[in-house]
Homo-oligomer: A and B are copies of this chain.
């Protein structure tokens, strides 16, 4: 059974389809929103052996001509070099203005292929078929595309909405537990932003969802996509409220950048620690009840997500160094970082008024440079 959510954005409106066994119908589902019978599939080395044959069958069944490319898996692929090579491959393959680009993979494939689709001949149709929990609940919806630069993550990109998003929750079965948990951090985020009822549901069902319950996975993906769609419809280009989706991400991006986007922290793990930092910071500012911070820490911990900074072999974490990353963050305005804070679970809001000393003190405890005082901080030993 496939469910659909409509993202209403004028002439850029589109549907998100969510369901089990959806991939077999992908060709038929996308055919009506394409402007030609030709598609170009971008995927990666992880997805190709697992799922590409099924997608191709479904394209064949719908009478769609397809070409494609298989990219190396991993965050390193979100680079200028890969963007240039991908566009070159698309042009050499004879892609035209009406050839649709299918992004078939996780966040890396979606962000890179989405950016390439937005730039190829100044924009060709884009179909997102996310294969990870992270991309199904977050990056495939809302039109953000991007690549990383030496200065940080996603600092180069575009807003470019897909024609359709197809999320087959059966594909999640091939994910490693770590990948699944990483995506789950973004699911938790939607509860934290403005849906305390969903957070409550996750407290009851998160563990069985992660363990493999297909019905619950579908519910979580649908609820997350609907939440994201609401935010995007209200503020497509992040002039204001869309920034709420960055809950935990200002911290998370800094952690990822500082540790070199490596194996130490996945994006979702960095967001998990980052969300807890945002709640801990809110608590220190007298905004968020202690019990909500504790409840968040408990839930993240129970689902196997990190609640403290991992040990580093290369060089120790450093609060001042993390601070420098915030200044680079896209959410900076006139030199001032904007943070997503919370008055409790389901009560997130934006603030550009975070005193530097409170922030630094919180970070120093998280990095272990200062001893945790009073209530254990985000980085305190759980």
What separation, in Å, do the CA atoms of A144 and B158 have in the docked complex?
15
Give the residue name and chain of the B residue nearest to A144 (CB): B122
* Residues of B with C-beta under 8 A to A365: none
What separation, in Å, do the CA atoms of A121 and B123 have in the docked complex?
18
* Residues of B with C-beta under 8 A to A146: 122
Known: A80-B84, A150-B88. A121 touches B155 (CB 8 A): yes
Known: A92-B151, A149-B88, A151-B92. A120 touches B156 (CB 8 A): yes
Residues of A in contact (CB 8 Å), total: 39
Number of copies of this chain in the oligomer?
A: 2
A119 interface hit (Cβ, 8 Å): yes
- A141 CB to nearest chain B CB (Å): 16
- Secondary structure type dominating chain A contacts: mixed
What separation, in Å, do the CA atoms of A238 and B150 have in the docked complex?
35
Give the residue name and chain of the B residue nearest to A36 (CB): B334
A330 touches B121 (CB 8 A): yes
* Residues of B with C-beta under 8 A to A119: 156-158
What separation, in Å, do the CA atoms of A356 and B151 have in the docked complex?
51
Contact of A155 among B80, B91, B118, B238 (CB under 8 A): B91
Give the residue name and chain of the B residue nearest to A98 (CB): B333
28 contacts across the A-B interface (CB closer than 8 A):
A38-B334, A80-B80, A80-B84, A87-B155, A88-B149, A88-B150, A91-B151, A91-B328, A92-B151, A96-B333, A96-B334, A98-B333, A118-B158, A119-B157, A119-B158, A120-B155, A120-B156, A121-B155, A121-B156, A121-B330, A122-B144, A122-B145, A122-B146, A122-B154, A122-B158, A122-B159, A122-B330, A123-B237
**A interface residue numbers (CB < 8 A to B):** 36, 38, 80, 84, 87-88, 91-92, 96-98, 118-123, 144-146, 149-152, 154-159, 237-238, 328, 330-335
Given contacts A91-B149, A91-B152, A158-B158, 9 further A-B contacts (CB under 8 A): A38-B334, A96-B333, A97-B330, A97-B333, A119-B158, A121-B155, A122-B145, A122-B159, A122-B237
